[in-house]
Chain A
Amino acid sequence: MSKPGPGYYPGFHTLDQKKFWDAATRQVILERVHNVPEIRFFKPEQARLMEAVCARILPQDDRGEAHKIPIVPWIDERLFTDRHDGYRFEDMPPDREAYQLGLRGIEEIARHLHGKGFCDIGIDEQDRILETLHDARPPAAPEIWKQLPIHRFWMLLVQDCITVYYSHPWAWDEIGFGGPAYPRAYMRLERGEPEPWEKDEKRHEWTAPGSSLSEKFTHVAGQAEHRGGPQGGTH
């Protein structure tokens, strides 16, 4: 872990603090880092498509191969074990079905626009296709989006990617999140000051490598409809 990762906190590695974490927390996090599951839910061609899609939803071209955070295996694991969040919107199919349909929809859009599969077009074209999901304006596969509200599928997909990426300690290093602090505690609560074992921020100009269409995202289409989207607790 010597290579500096992305983000403004060079040299910060939450995993270096693991000896200060409680045993149960340490086990859960190390398991996540070292025991990436095999693909069991997606068929091989679906897994390949998922890899291409997730590589645009949370691109990692700025990370060295050894430090890319695996996303698809954990979404696969969730779907294989049929673990969900305790509710389903009345207009949505169950998650497994939603993924099967949604992947078909993405592939159909790619073929409609480019005559090729999603995996076989350039990343700019891929971004543009995903943007049609984000905007809820799919240029193809209307029969699929009739069964699968496209804005809800987009939220589901992005939410799943977020859950996996930002649960990884390398992502915590990137954003300067201190991570677990039991039983040790946080001492410096105000003014954003770092603990002695945290790093202060060192900002620098940062440009997204490769395609940057997704840098200029806009509000999701039909914002009002999204009330009650994927949400954990707050206050």
Chain B
Amino acid sequence: MQRIETPMRRFADGEEVDYAIVGVGAGGGVLLQRLARAGFRVIGFDAGPFWDTERDWVSDETGSHKLYWNDKRITGGQDPLALGANNSGKGVGGGTVHWASFTPRFHPSDFQTDTLDGVGADWPLTYWDLKPYYELMEKELPVSGPYFPWGDPHSYPYGPHPMGGVGDVLIHGCTKLGLGVSAGGPVAILSGSRADRPHCIYRGFCIQGCKVGAKASTLITHVPDALANGAEIRAHSMVSRVHVGKGGLGKNRRVTGVSYFDAEGREHFQKAKAVVVAGYAIETPRLLLNSGLANSNGQVGRYLMAQAGNVVLGRFEELIRMYKAPPAHALTEHFYETDPKRGFARGFAVQTVGPLPIAFAKQLMTAKGAWGWGLRRLMMDYNHWAALGLLGEILPNAENRVTLAGEKDQFGLPVAKVTFNLYDNDKKLIEYGKQKVMDIMWAAGAKEVVQEARYAHLVGGARMGRDPGESVTDQFGRTHEIANLFICDGSLMPTQGSANPGLTIMALAARIADYMIAQGDGIFTSDRRAMEPPAMRRDLSPPDTWGHGMPTV
């Protein structure tokens, strides 16, 4: 249950702030909190509501429709992505409100797929640059889970969760096949209470928003501390344009603020010394394209990625009741790294999924073609089914992208068009990975196994890189084109690994924050680009971060 008692600051119209952050999700939420704590004057804009979790959220699939980005978007290409509830949040907390909250780190190899495998792209930073921020975020959220043996092995501040039926299926199947398995996490769900946040009650509605307050979202982990430190959140405010001007610094263009529509549809202008776009992989490129910014090299919107998210359903003689326990509670990364014997680059993870009745019925519709009496009969066996998800790395491709469609939204702004195609390596990986997940399901004792093709997550679309001709920002999210325009969300990622992106987005945001704070007023007054990585600030964490658990490796 969320309680935010702090009165919120409200900057007056016409008052210039230091930073305007567009989007208060995983990236924007962490950044807002840190900048506020460091004393900057900062506003976080969000197109959706500032949730009152007890009043606004429900334990109900249909009743949770409002948590998602439901505004108009067009999806196309040979392999079109489902958007909305599948991957797009709206409202303060953004995607962290409806994520299942698996929080594995990326592996060291994910940061240099070009060097190691000749595919994808190298990041402008390494795993070791990000590692301290992973550790920090795992404590701030915090993350519960057992010792994690893959990638760079590590442990977690909170202990693993008890198993549910689907987790048991994954453990049985993996054990039979000799595959390692991580049970009870890593998830950003409290396995024990901490400060005023209660422990998990295993009600199963994680992706409908955690009313309990056990699952981390920036709404409850970082936003309250941002407000306590003088940040303003301007909810129901849809930013329509980032403005540029000369800014008194010679011929270089500088951003001067943002235009936004308020809840009544009135347009306003907010002056800011710097702007951070944190609207995730579709709205960030869309806003930059609608503003005509940071795109002189034509890179904005390109290299959009989703992960292969095939769901494998297995029917068991015994009862499972997969609605209990968090959908996210066990995984294996046994197949994560490239294995040349497989005939494709990179790999995949296998994770528990716990679809509630509506989601499950739709999966049966696509996996089995079920309708009519057949669907009714299958659904009567809901409690006999378990669901496991493939999470496979799809490689970045310049033609998988966000562009502007001819159609407009309710504010008269051109909507995003998303074009997505699978390429050869992706198809081979999905075929192989899906088969492995089915093998695990059979090995666990399923009597029938079917699968549904789908995707999970979104990243890319405004990637960071060392080469200004081939990317939109540097490693600190600063756009190559405009020195006081930053990006801070999943759209920065040059590749995506086979890990859920949330934790990495937050770790990047904390690192970007440290950079901004280290640069201080220099960002507002100069076009000079310092490229030295910042020292990590451990004093900017929300209260109650320290003194709770001591992970040992």
* B454 x A86 contact (CB < 8 A): no
Give the distance in Å from the alpha carbon of A30 to the alpha carbon of B163 in the complex. 32
Q: Nearest Cβ distance between residue B214 and chain A, in whole angstroms?
A: 10
Given A228-B79, A232-B362, residue A215 in contact with residue B201 (CB < 8 A): no
Stretch at the interface among B241-249, B365-373, B460-468: B365-373
Give the distance in Å from the alpha carbon of A32 to the alpha carbon of B387 in the complex. 28
Give the distance in Å from the alpha carbon of A184 to the alpha carbon of B201 in the complex. 8
Chain A interface residue bracket vs B: 35 or more
B495: interface (CB < 8 Å)? no
Chain A residues 141-179 with CB under 8 Å of chain B are 155, 158-159, 162-163, 165-167, 171-172, 174-179
Give the distance in Å from the alpha carbon of A149 to the alpha carbon of B168 in the complex. 41
Q: Using Cβ atoms and an 8 Å threshold, which residues of chain A touch B418?
A: 87
* B383 x A231 contact (CB < 8 A): no
Q: Nearest Cβ distance between residue B219 and chain A, in whole angstroms?
A: 16
Name A217's contact: one of B212, B372, B380 (CB within 8 Å): B372
Given A166-B358, A189-B164, A213-B372, residue A24 in contact with residue B57 (CB < 8 A): yes
* B82 x A182 contact (CB < 8 A): no
* A188 x B81 contact (CB < 8 A): no
* B203 x A229 contact (CB < 8 A): no
A183: interface (CB < 8 Å)? yes
Q: Using Cβ atoms and an 8 Å threshold, which residues of chain A touch B321?
A: 176, 178, 192-194
A220: interface (CB < 8 Å)? yes
* A176 x B76 contact (CB < 8 A): no
Q: Using Cβ atoms and an 8 Å threshold, which residues of chain A touch B212?
A: 182-183
Name B357's contact: one of A32, A166, A189, A219 (CB within 8 Å): A166
B84: interface (CB < 8 Å)? yes
* A171 x B362 contact (CB < 8 A): no
A25: interface (CB < 8 Å)? yes
Name B201's contact: one of A186, A201, A216, A231 (CB within 8 Å): A186
* A175 x B380 contact (CB < 8 A): yes
* B86 x A231 contact (CB < 8 A): yes
* A233 x B211 contact (CB < 8 A): no
Q: Using Cβ atoms and an 8 Å threshold, which residues of chain B touch A226?
A: 366, 453
Name A25's contact: one of B60, B65, B362, B380 (CB within 8 Å): B60
* A234 x B369 contact (CB < 8 A): no
B145: interface (CB < 8 Å)? no
A214: nearest chain-B partner, CB-CB: B372
Name A234's contact: one of B164, B358, B456 (CB within 8 Å): B456
Give the distance in Å from the alpha carbon of A184 to the alpha carbon of B76 in the complex. 43
A26: nearest chain-B partner, CB-CB: B58
Name B382's contact: one of A58, A130, A176 (CB within 8 Å): A176
- Per-residue interface assignment for chain B, residues 310 to 352, with 1 indicating a CB less than 8 Å from any chain A CB and 0 otherwise: 0100000011110111011000000000000000000000011
* B60 x A185 contact (CB < 8 A): no
* A235 x B82 contact (CB < 8 A): no
Q: Using Cβ atoms and an 8 Å threshold, which residues of chain A touch B380?
A: 6-8, 174-175, 206
Give the distance in Å from the alpha carbon of A223 to the alpha carbon of B82 in the complex. 16
Q: Using Cβ atoms and an 8 Å threshold, which residues of chain B touch A206?
A: 377, 380
Give the distance in Å from the alpha carbon of A216 to the alpha carbon of B365 in the complex. 13
Give the distance in Å from the alpha carbon of A135 to the alpha carbon of B290 in the complex. 41
Q: Using Cβ atoms and an 8 Å threshold, which residues of chain B touch A91?
A: 76
Q: Using Cβ atoms and an 8 Å threshold, which residues of chain B touch A215?
A: 372-374, 377
Given A7-B380, A158-B365, A190-B163, residue A234 in contact with residue B88 (CB < 8 A): no
Q: Nearest Cβ distance between residue A189 and chain B, in whole angstroms?
A: 4
* B319 x A191 contact (CB < 8 A): yes
* B373 x A212 contact (CB < 8 A): yes
Q: Using Cβ atoms and an 8 Å threshold, which residues of chain A touch B369?
A: 134, 217-220, 223
Which of B57, B62, B83, B371: most chain A CB closer than 10 A? Answer: B371
Q: Using Cβ atoms and an 8 Å threshold, which residues of chain A touch B291?
A: none
Q: Using Cβ atoms and an 8 Å threshold, which residues of chain A touch B327?
A: 234-235
Q: Nearest Cβ distance between residue A137 and chain B, in whole angstroms?
A: 14
* A217 x B374 contact (CB < 8 A): yes
Give the distance in Å from the alpha carbon of A220 to the alpha carbon of B370 in the complex. 8
Give the distance in Å from the alpha carbon of A211 to the alpha carbon of B70 in the complex. 38
Ordered by A's residue number, 22 sampled pairs between the chains whose C-beta atoms are within 8 Å are A24-B55, A24-B58, A59-B376, A87-B73, A87-B84, A155-B366, A167-B62, A175-B357, A176-B383, A178-B324, A182-B59, A190-B163, A220-B369, A224-B453, A227-B455, A231-B454, A232-B362, A233-B86, A234-B311, A235-B102, A235-B328, A235-B500
Question: What 7 pairs across the A-B complex have the smallest Cβ distances?
Answer: A214-B372, A192-B319, A86-B84, A90-B76, A185-B201, A180-B59, A208-B373
